[in-house]
Structure 1
Amino acid sequence: MNDRGGESESDAGDGSEDGGFAGALTHRRLTVLGTILVLGGLFVALREVDLRTVAAEISSAEPRLLALAVAVYAVSWPVRGRRYGDVLAAVGHRSGTAFLTSAIFVSQTANLVIPARAGDAVRAYAVNTHRAVPYTAGFASLAVERLFDLATIAALAGLAIAWLTLGGGTGPLGVVAATGGARTALVAAAAVSTATVGVGLVVVTSARADHGLGAWLRGRIAGRPRLEGLLEAALRFADDVQLVARQPRELATIGVGSLAVWVLDVLTAVLVLAALGSGLAVGPLVAVGTLAVSVGNLAKVLPLSQGGVGLYEAAFTALVVGLTPVGASTALAAAIVDHALKNGVTLVGGAVSVAALGISVSDAVESEPTTATGETDSFLGKPKR
């Protein structure tokens, strides 16, 4: 124990020989730096927008529509809890919707307030502490949920692109050719979507094939206890993910839940755009709102800023301005209000959930899985016999 403490003290200095430049580049510092750079880039990109006009747009928003947007987004949270319950049930662990909704609130709040997106670890800690879900199953269920989120967002973006293209107006392909900001956002979204489809195909294919990879890897590292523990943890994680892929009915249920979650998220943004007086007809409003939210959330996948701040606003604004006659100030105001509204609901729900569950977010982030579950069920513990 003392040796580890001594190492920590020696590495703490930013300029020490042991830590060096690489030691200073922690995930936390990179996230903070990325947030500063993204916000700086957003400021430069929108330097011609009058911020006073943006503030005026926000202040003139229709209060009743904003209140409805808050209500719609709040409703999406128990839907998220139910969807996560379906994912956990597919890997053999059942829990109530109310508890899982609280666990998601806590984890998403951690993602907003703690750099390096520590929220996933907090959720795994919560379900392990309160429902004895092993860490491997907790992280596997999170991976499945993320894949469904990205696939659903990509599908909604595809539907919005088809609607806009067939509608005869300025299609996304025209925006790609003409508008730098929208082009970058769409290309990034396409890359993330393609990667998601690829990962999904690999998971489904490997789940239905007896490739013997696990046995081969065990043979290669036999006699190396530490590597054996890491491998067994990775294989249990992969087994839990593939377990879901082998259950078509559960896949369909989780898919329907994911669609409901993101339809409510899109509807929230559409209501915000309507509250700010976009002047768009219902059809184009829904299509553009869907594409803006989809691309904005796909952009947030890149861990470049704290809580996706700046990335979401930039992508959202670029798409709305590029596809509609809506001015940049109105589009930016809508992006800011939409993201702030969603983050506000998340923080309020997270505060209530932290108090209800009695979870210390900092303790959850700093805790090691091995201390929470015991050696047999730990993430890096000895393999079960």
Structure 2
Amino acid sequence: MSSPSERPGSASGSAVGDGDGDRIRVSVVLPAYNEAATIEGTVRTTVETLAAFLPADAFEVIVAEDGCEDRTPEIADRLTREDDRVRHLHSDRRLGRGGALEFAFDRAVGDTLVYFDTDLATDMRHLEELVTKVDREGYDVATGSRWMPGDEADRPAKRGVPSRGFNLLVRTVLRSSVRDHQCGFKALSRAAFEELRDAVEDEHWFWDTELLVRAQRRGLRVAEFPVDWEPKGDSKVDLVRDVFGMGSQIVRLWWQLSVSPRITRTRTVAAGIVLTVAALALMTVYLDPSAVVSAFEGADPAPVAAATLVYLVSWPLRGLRYRDILTELGYRETLGFLTGAVFISQTGNLVFPARAGDAVRAYVVKARRGIPYPTGFASLAAERVFDLLTITAMAGAVLAGLLATDGAGAVATAVSANVPGVPPAAVSRAIQVAAAIGVVAVASLLFIVATARSNRNYVRKVVSRFSSDSYVDYVAGVVEEFAAGVQTVAGTRGSFARVGGVSVLVWTLDVVTALLVLSAFPTATASMTFAQLVVVGFFAVSVGNLAKVLPLSPGGIGLYEAAFTALVVGLGGVPAAVAFAAAVLDHAVKNAVTVAGGVASMIGFNVSLTDAVDETADLDEDAEREGSEFATDDD
């Protein structure tokens, strides 16, 4: 999402007055990006075609100029001066095809909203039929089709094959009856647009498909009719990036329409519990339960008690970090209250899968301190960003250190000894590759931090050097959102240093807790040097916590143990039963501290965890999507 400084600038062209608006029935939107060579001819042809079957004052043609870098804006301005039926909406940056259409429709006057590609690949003799389907026949949505009997479509193989494959996927996975979802020749009623606009999430090439699928799911009347179509020039659709991107959007929409509505809290909790039990039970297939029990019996309780105290110390640090983040957002609260809020939210993550506890914190600070929900969610996002930054930076630094000190060879030898059949050379190469990736990851994080600390948009600048493709632009937007999380607390160098430093302390104490638990098992530490123990402990905890990010089981139980056990066995040569016992005990210590602190905080704050989850579940976090905006002025 863009910040206010990045919002589109003013629009130019004549706006339709109230008197004209009473007569206009049809609004045609032409999404335009760098169309200087064709836009004038397209606008004139559109006006002439509309005038052939509609009264002269019954339609408008809107050029939705989407961050063009050529003369398209100048040409559109001139066309608006020459014909008051033409309007021009200007954006200073790329919005994406769907984003430009959505905003233009919102400012259009007509009750029938039409759009088509500016290359006029679809024969314009079909325009009257398209308009009539909605304007007179009462369909909610109408679309041309290049794949219905009766059409004439000259489709080169490089376009036809991916198009057929994409439409087959949409029909099969999303249960759509439409044959051609991406034909750029569509119309819809004002009522249908108002019903669908908030539901359609994509802002790029998948917008067309999502519109049609959601319309069908809501029982709206959709008309598809064959059209004559001939490709004109080079398509702006990248057959690798865009098709891949739209494939991921098919999965996203399938999840939202077919899976998400069936996920109730009861089913989610039940599934999480089943998955947890299954994950732990699966370990008994590879481990002798009696050996695990024996390992537990041989554990020294003193290091476990020390581990509990160390982990308990990390919680006020979490509260301190959260206080610094909220302070940057303009809210000052006591350390005790914020530590309790963190305890409650993490307890929620242990009870409910899909990290439902994350949103609980926003409820707690809103209910008990009046901090608005948007601020609560923004602060939580910033905290998560710093967690990821810290884990990635620390992992990258350790990997780079192994590479620089030739420690990769020693680790490779140890792994090969513990995993029969794997040669040291192969492991060493894998570690070297991982170390190189770690260096790149650290460099990328520094780049993101530089973007967050500067008024210059480095991310967009770098991406634009390689491509202006809409999905590359979308990926840049995701990175910008990540940078925005850093920027939340990067207002001053001091606040950034404090939050970053405390994050390092929090995760270091998490690792120390695991090392102390490991030291409680003599068999686990007997074969490792102190340096090996540190490396093994760090990676076991890091990968285990990354596994917990997957919203599959409450608190990541089962996922954490599996990742922890695999790394301790592979890197440290620890017997599997002992490694698993250490993983279970480490996770149990951390969860016990979390639950104890969470219960105490809920009692102290008089907060019900189930009420908090219900409250946050009702929030529509994306209701006010901060999409890009056009601005309009009268000419």
Tell me which interval the TM-score lies in, with the shorter structure as reference length.
0.7 to 0.9
Q: Which amino acid aligns with 2:511?
A: V
Paired with 2:260 and 2:616, the residues of 1 have a C-alpha distance of 23
- Change in CA separation of 1:31 and 1:206 when aligned onto 2, cut-off 3 Å: farther
Shift of residue 159 of structure 1?
3.5
Please list every run of 5 or more consecutive structure 2 residues that lacks an aligned counterpart in the other structure.
1-256, 458-480, 627-635
Contact 1:369 1:379 in 2 (8 A): no
Q: Secondary structure at the match of 1:68?
A: helix
Q: Secondary structure at the match of 1:99?
A: helix
Contact 2:415 2:570 in 1 (8 A): no
**TM-score in terms of structure 1 length:** 0.73
Shift of residue 49 of structure 1?
1.2
1:301 equivalenced with 2:549 (yes/no): yes
Contact 1:204 1:245 in 2 (8 A): no
* Residue matched to 2:572: 324
Shift of residue 281 of structure 1?
2.4
Contact 1:35 1:304 in 2 (8 A): no
1:106 equivalenced with 2:106 (yes/no): no
- Change in CA separation of 1:20 and 1:89 when aligned onto 2, cut-off 3 Å: closer
Contact 2:448 2:483 in 1 (8 A): no
1:263 equivalenced with 2:508 (yes/no): yes
* Residue matched to 1:247: 492
**Bigger Cα displacement from structure 2, 275-284 vs 69-78:** 275-284
Q: Specify which structure has the higher proportion of strand.
A: 2
| Cα-to-partner distance string for 1:35-94 (whole Å, 9 max, x where unaligned) | 634653564466221111111111211111110000000111111111111111111111
Paired with 2:604 and 2:415, the residues of 1 have a C-alpha distance of 50
* Residue matched to 1:345: 593
Q: Secondary structure at the match of 2:354?
A: coil
Paired with 2:392 and 2:277, the residues of 1 have a C-alpha distance of 25
Contact 2:397 2:439 in 1 (8 A): no
Over the matched positions of the two proteins, sequence identity in percent amounts to: 46
Shift of residue 314 of structure 1?
0.8
- Change in CA separation of 1:20 and 1:83 when aligned onto 2, cut-off 3 Å: closer
Contact 1:31 1:116 in 2 (8 A): no
Q: Which amino acid aligns with 2:411?
A: T
| Cα-to-partner distance string for 1:102-132 (whole Å, 9 max, x where unaligned) | 1111111111112332212211111112222
Q: Secondary structure at the match of 1:95?
A: coil
| Cα-to-partner distance string for 1:159-181 (whole Å, 9 max, x where unaligned) | 333455533422499779949xx
Shift of residue 26 of structure 1?
4.4
Paired with 1:156 and 1:172, the residues of 2 have a C-alpha distance of 23
Contact 2:272 2:353 in 1 (8 A): no
- Change in CA separation of 1:200 and 1:355 when aligned onto 2, cut-off 3 Å: farther
Contact 1:320 1:331 in 2 (8 A): yes
Paired with 1:87 and 1:157, the residues of 2 have a C-alpha distance of 24
Q: Which amino acid aligns with 1:62?
A: D
Task: Tell me which of 245, 249, 272 is aligned to 2:517.
Answer: 272
Task: Tell me which of 295, 315, 318 is aligned to 2:563.
Answer: 315
When the two structures are aligned, how many residues end up with a matched partner?
A: 332
* Residue matched to 2:394: 156
Q: Secondary structure at the match of 1:244?
A: coil
* Residue matched to 1:360: 608
* Residue matched to 1:56: 294
1:285 equivalenced with 2:285 (yes/no): no
Paired with 1:113 and 1:195, the residues of 2 have a C-alpha distance of 33
* Residue matched to 1:83: 321
Q: Secondary structure at the match of 2:330?
A: coil
**TM-score in terms of structure 2 length:** 0.46
- Change in CA separation of 1:192 and 1:310 when aligned onto 2, cut-off 3 Å: farther
Contact 1:141 1:241 in 2 (8 A): no
**Bigger Cα displacement from structure 2, 198-207 vs 139-148:** 198-207
Q: Secondary structure at the match of 2:411?
A: coil
Contact 2:287 2:577 in 1 (8 A): yes
Shift of residue 135 of structure 1?
1.0
Paired with 1:193 and 1:27, the residues of 2 have a C-alpha distance of 41
- Change in CA separation of 1:306 and 1:197 when aligned onto 2, cut-off 3 Å: farther
* Residue matched to 2:410: 169
Shift of residue 364 of structure 1?
1.4
Contact 2:353 2:552 in 1 (8 A): no
Paired with 2:323 and 2:438, the residues of 1 have a C-alpha distance of 26
- Change in CA separation of 1:28 and 1:312 when aligned onto 2, cut-off 3 Å: farther
* Residue matched to 1:73: 311
- Change in CA separation of 1:22 and 1:97 when aligned onto 2, cut-off 3 Å: closer
Q: Which amino acid aligns with 2:580?
A: L
Q: Which amino acid aligns with 1:161?
A: L
**Bigger Cα displacement from structure 2, 75-84 vs 239-248:** 239-248
Task: Tell me which of 372, 392, 395 is aligned to 1:134.
Answer: 372
Q: Secondary structure at the match of 2:286?
A: coil
Please list every run of 5 or more consecutive structure 1 residues that lacks an aligned counterpart in the other structure.
1-18, 212-235, 372-377
- Change in CA separation of 1:125 and 1:170 when aligned onto 2, cut-off 3 Å: same
* Residue matched to 2:451: 205
Contact 1:28 1:115 in 2 (8 A): no
Shift of residue 247 of structure 1?
2.9
Paired with 1:246 and 1:311, the residues of 2 have a C-alpha distance of 37
The structure that has the greater radius of gyration is 2
Q: Which amino acid aligns with 1:324?
A: G
Q: Secondary structure at the match of 1:140?
A: helix
**Bigger Cα displacement from structure 2, 55-64 vs 242-251:** 242-251
Q: Which amino acid aligns with 1:267?
A: V
Contact 1:105 1:346 in 2 (8 A): yes
Paired with 2:589 and 2:561, the residues of 1 have a C-alpha distance of 13
Q: Which amino acid aligns with 1:346?
A: T
- Change in CA separation of 1:293 and 1:337 when aligned onto 2, cut-off 3 Å: same
Q: Which amino acid aligns with 1:205?
A: T
Q: Secondary structure at the match of 1:47?
A: helix
